[in-house]
A and B are shown apart, each in its own frame.
Chain A
Amino acid sequence: MSSEEIIYQKATSMSQGETHYCPGCTHGTVHKLIAECLDEINMVDDAIVIAPVGCAVLIYDYFQIDGVEAAHGRAPAVATGVKRVHPDKMVISYQGDGDLLAIGMAETIHAANRGENITVIFVNNAIYGMTGGQMAPTTMVGQKTTTTPSGRQPDDVGLPIRACELLNTLERPVYIERVSCHNSPNILKAKKAIKKALLNQKEGKGYSFVEVLATCPTNWGLSPKKSYDWLEETMIPYYPLGNFRDKEV
């Protein structure tokens, strides 16, 4: 009889406990990917996650690693302070679209422009989840939210902001990629990108940014299945997936 072989198990960097995320929410998926990557690159004992203000504010509860909770939008600044004190630790700034592109836009751009050796995971679900479904900088044109009751009107509030394209105008980032997690093949690609972004930091290469297109079924008012479809049909055409920057340094 052949010996037993473990082909799948929970990442050791994840903690025990129940999820507080809604059914069909992809925050949990992204957490899992980060945990698996930390395991695989052997950084569980050296990782520090910076929590945003948003639905992922309790992210540190899901990991058995160090965690620091930042004020809304300030995660890249907090990450900068942490990284400068602990240059050998792996510092991950995990942020939603309101956190990263609205209130924290300045912190986002300037951390990237300094080329801080950190990894930013940007979860773009086109809405403010935590506060109950208001418009985000990434809300799609025509998308109904609680503050755009007749759909986002560009003449009034502008067009959705594309984070990867924006950061791609800067010289200092070494890695910029947009992925999605609405189905298995894309989740696998997302994991590859996250792993690369973490490895870059481990190797001292510099600032890496991964945007993950994500769902918020609750505030989109869709079932989990329909929200995956909506992401694919509405978001991906506007937010093209792929690599924007992969600099050899």
Chain B
Amino acid sequence: MSKKILMKGNEAAAEAAIIAGCRYYFGYPITPQNEIPEYMSKRLPEVGGTFIQAESETAAINMVFGASASGARSMTSSSSPGISLKQEGISYLAAAQLPCVVIDITRGGPGLGNIAGSQGDYFQATRGGGHGDYRVIVLAPANCQELADLTLKAFDLADEYRMVVMILADGFLGQMSEPVVLPEPTNKVFNKDWAVGIGKKNKVASLILSPEDGLTKHNYVLKEIYDRVEEDVRLYEEYKLDDAEYMLCAYGSSARICKQAVEELRSKGVKVGYFRPISLWPFPYKELKALSVGKKKILTVEMSLGQMIEDVKLAVEGSIPVDFYGIPGGMIPTPEAIEERVLSYE
């Protein structure tokens, strides 16, 4: 299976989900993620799975809730406005400790915005767009290969921690075609004794009215899991940081552009490298802090008005200045603009 195939990001993610053993997909069309439901509608019946085009994103995520409560690997995908509608279900899934994968191929916002890739949904993804004290694991790929690899990984993480795992990729990644080596299945087996339909008379619910501190206790159970995830799942990439004076910090598509800016700046003799968080929650605070020691400045680059920058600042705790360069509304930052900003520090 180590053959390179030219695939759209969306299709690579969909095929990776099937490789991961996902047999239930529920979704609602929205650009720029339509290739995922379209691919699933064709592929899932071939592997004995179920595809349903739901009546809304709300219905789709609640179908995922039912399938997940039944012990099956299931997923949904959407783009920004649709993810807003899924937040209700995501909160309920988190409360009931049900695993699932949600792929968010983001577009420009707020409102209907536009259909170009954008990174304006970092807050929504990492801070929980739904109600209540809960967390979602958020993974941010920067190319089609990673989109496939992280989707596969997302199913194992979801089952291991009984959590919702979100893949946050912008519309450019979903739409671009790149050579992809499809990942191998991990074949990990998870105990799902808690599911309904397995003869155990189980209840899957999120309402906890009694005893009085029942919900508080449950919140602490969740917290323990979140603490473990924060310990175990901090993913990132560093690039040419050893001797760097400046650190660029970006995720997803912005990070690709930063890589190019690093090369250009290095050819001009400017010592710069980059840090790319791959897990946005949990955010690799420790690693970012450690790698930032001795740097003169961090430039955070985002396709937004500045959202991840808050985590970057939290990571360095005021030890070094953090600057921002970004562009919202579906536009892409140019390597030249990033270079110009870094050169202004010299």
Q: Could you tell me which A residues sit within 8 Å of B by CB distance?
A: 45, 48, 50-51, 57-58, 60, 64-71, 74, 77-86, 89, 106-107, 109-110, 114
B206 interface contact, C-beta 8 A: yes
Chain B residue, CB-CB nearest to A13: B201
B203 interface contact, C-beta 8 A: yes
Say yes or no: A68 contacts B54, CB within 8 Å: no
Chain B residue, CB-CB nearest to A106: B55
Chain A residues lying within 8 Å of B62, measured Cβ to Cβ, are: 70-71, 74, 77-78, 81, 107
B189 interface contact, C-beta 8 A: no
> Given A60-B205, A85-B72, does the pair A78, B66 have CB atoms closer than 8 Å?
yes
B58 interface contact, C-beta 8 A: yes
Say yes or no: A64 contacts B201, CB within 8 Å: yes
Per a CB cutoff under 8 Å, which of B52, B56, B92, B206 touches A106?
B56
Chain A residues lying within 8 Å of B66, measured Cβ to Cβ, are: 50, 68, 70, 77-85
- Cα distance A65–B200 in the bound complex, in angstroms: 8
Number of interface residues of B (CB under 8 A): 37
Chain B residues lying within 8 Å of A68, measured Cβ to Cβ, are: 65-66, 69, 196, 203-205
20 A-B contact pairs sorted by A residue (CB < 8 Å): A60-B205, A66-B200, A67-B205, A68-B196, A69-B204, A70-B65, A71-B65, A71-B89, A71-B92, A74-B59, A77-B58, A77-B62, A77-B66, A80-B63, A81-B62, A81-B74, A82-B67, A84-B66, A85-B70, A106-B56
Chain B residues lying within 8 Å of A74, measured Cβ to Cβ, are: 58-59, 62, 65, 88-89
Interface 0/1 of B71-82, CB less than 8 Å to A: 110100000000
> Given A66-B201, A69-B206, does the pair A110, B72 have CB atoms closer than 8 Å?
no
Say yes or no: A69 contacts B205, CB within 8 Å: yes
- Cα distance A18–B99 in the bound complex, in angstroms: 33
- Cα distance A122–B58 in the bound complex, in angstroms: 21
B68 interface contact, C-beta 8 A: yes
Per a CB cutoff under 8 Å, which of B59, B64, B196 touches A66?
B196
Say yes or no: B197 contacts A85, CB within 8 Å: yes
- Cα distance A83–B70 in the bound complex, in angstroms: 9
Chain B residue, CB-CB nearest to A114: B52
Could you tell me the distance in whole angstroms from the C-beta of B210 to the nearest C-beta in chain A?
A: 10
Chain B residue, CB-CB nearest to A79: B66
Chain B residue, CB-CB nearest to A57: B207
Interface 0/1 of B39-52, CB less than 8 Å to A: 00000000000101
Please report which residues of chain B, range 188-215, place their CB below 8 angstroms from some CB of chain A when the two chains form the complex.
196-197, 199-207
Could you tell me the distance in whole angstroms from the C-beta of A238 to the nearest C-beta in chain B?
A: 28
> Given A57-B207, A71-B89, A74-B62, does the pair A81, B201 have CB atoms closer than 8 Å?
no
Say yes or no: A81 contacts B197, CB within 8 Å: no
